[in-house]
Amino acid sequence: MSTFWISNYSSLILKVDINLTLVQSLCMDKFTISPIPELIFGAGTIKKIPELITDRGYSTIVLITGGSSFLNSVYWHELAESLNKRSIKFYHHRSIGETSPEVVDGIVKEIKDIEIDAVIAIGGGTVLDTGKAVSAMLCMSGSIIDYLEGVGTKEPTGLRKPLICVPTTSGTGSEVTKNAVITRVGKDGFKKSLRHSGYIPDTAVIDPLLIVSCPPDLTIATGLDAVTQLLESYVSVKATPFTDNLALQGLKLAGRSFPLIIFNGNDIERRAEMAYAAYLSGITLANAGLGVVHGAASVLGAIRPIPHGTVCGTLLGSATELIIKKLLSDNSTDSVYLEKFSHAGTALTGVKYESTEEGCRNLIDILNRWIQDYRVPGLSSYGFTEKDLLFGAKSTGIKNTPTTLSTEDILKLFTDRI
């Protein structure tokens, strides 16, 4: 696998072996596409970070990592040694668990009076979100709570320190999006975003060698998160021909790589495919939006300490089946969304189906089979009560889901996965 750079959109449009004529014909209205970071992709690209820092004239950086996985690897020691050899001063902070206001405010407080040139975040989605938030808050005053959507009263400025994001999981696509998800769990909890187009990272470095050590349970949760993002953005009411192509390419890559890397994590080629699928999911969600599963994940993740990917994974099959049933029963609904669900089934399985209904059925089957075979835990495993679920159903927004879902529909979705 070779290393490559992407700095424009045209390089991202890859051929997908599915006829999109019907789908695209509905979507040829005006649309806009958000910027994406420079992409440096390939095995061993972690070694290019010191050179990037030097070439850009940075001499003092903040380096944010996760708890232990990356820190216990040879790549951490090599990176630290290379930074020291280049006389690059770095302040290292760890971000463990969900990105909370206290974590972000604490890091910023420690380094606020230091002349920081850039922020480098290396880790899973929450670590990357911490990096985004820190890079922004170094250019603003007060607490990050002041700037969160639906929580704070201040508008983010969009100013930040230069930011390089290096994912060590294949899931959130945070390395390409404009928001950092901040979480407070429990009573009066929330899961809200610090959001501004100015917070899109400057560079994403995706090295599949960093993902090899990702354990099966985390590979499952993050992989299903990426699949959820690809599917929800593909059938979103805000989808465009641009996002359709990328989402289908991502689903195709995930369909052939995800099942293989769960118990064979050393397969670098498949790890690379899944990492690229997750990256594409970040682009598609940023431009087409998401659906009810992510609406639920935001709410449930604020009630109980359940991993974001686990919420997505456990609800995805049931939610897809519910939406398809609603579309089939609503004769006034344009069939394009059923066609898209069928195309998604083809992308994930590699099988072309004779009818739309067969494609939809097989999509539901493969999602439910993954959830069962990989033993994705239900909501009760994280202590959710009937009261929690009722509150969650009432608070969940359907976002860009292509049909209407009632509170009763969403509550049934939750109870089916209790």
Please provide the average confidence, as pLDDT, over all residues in the chain: 92
Which pLDDT score, from 0 to 100, does residue 13 have?
41
Q: Helix, strand, or coil here: 227?
A: helix
Q: Is the distance from CB of 185 to CB of 227 less than 8 angstroms?
A: no
Greater confidence, 14 or 1? 1
Q: Tell me the CATH number at 404.
A: 1.20.1090.10
User: What does the pLDDT read at residue 22?
Assistant: 45
Structure tokens at 412: 């049934």
Sequence-ordered list of residues with C-beta below 8 angstroms from that of 369, at least 6 positions apart, any chain: none
CA distance 8 to 31: 17
**Which one-letter amino acid corresponds to residue 413?**
L
If asked whether residues 160 and 270 sit together in one domain, one would say no
If asked whether residues 276 and 381 sit together in one domain, one would say yes
Q: Do 202 and 225 belong together in one domain?
A: no
DSSP letter (8 states) at residue 144: G
- Structural domain count, the chain: 2
Q: Are residues 244 and 99 in the same domain?
A: no
pLDDT at 67: 82
Could you tell me the CA-to-CA distances from 25 to 232, 274, 415 in Å, in that order? Answer: 19, 29, 38
- Domain extent, residue 318, equals 216-416
Distance of CA 94 to the CA centre of its chain: 20
Residues 294 and 363 grouped into a single domain: yes
The DSSP symbol for 123 reads E
Q: Are residues 176 and 117 in the same domain?
A: yes
Q: Do 357 and 238 have their domain in common?
A: yes
Q: Are residues 205 and 244 in the same domain?
A: no
Among 191, 210, 229, the domain boundary falls at 210
Alpha carbon dihedral 168, 172, 178, 180, in 10-degree steps, equals -80
Strand 203-206 relative to strand 163-167, pairing: parallel
Residue 406, domain member (yes or no): yes
Do 206 and 220 lie in one domain? The reply is no
DSSP designation for 150? T
Q: Kindly state whether residue 1 falls inside one of the protein's structural domains.
A: no
Is residue 372 one of the residues assigned to a domain?
yes
Residue 30 exposed, middle or buried by CB count within 10 Å (0-12, 13-18, 19+)? exposed
- Cβ-contact 198, 160 below 8 angstroms: yes
Query: CA 174, CA 415: separation in Å to the nearest integer?
Result: 29
Summarised one tens digit per residue, pLDDT across range 113-168 is 999 999 999 999 999 999 999 999 999 999 999 999 999 999 999 999 999 999 99
For residue 173, what is the domain's CATH number?
3.40.50.1970
Residue 2: the pLDDT is: 52
Residues 203 and 55 in one domain: yes
Q: Is 318 exposed, middle or buried (0-12, 13-18, 19+ CB in 10 A)?
A: buried
One domain, residues 379 and 327? yes
Give the pLDDT score at 319. Answer: 98
- Compute the distance between CA of residue 100 and CA of residue 393 in angstroms, rounded to an integer: 24
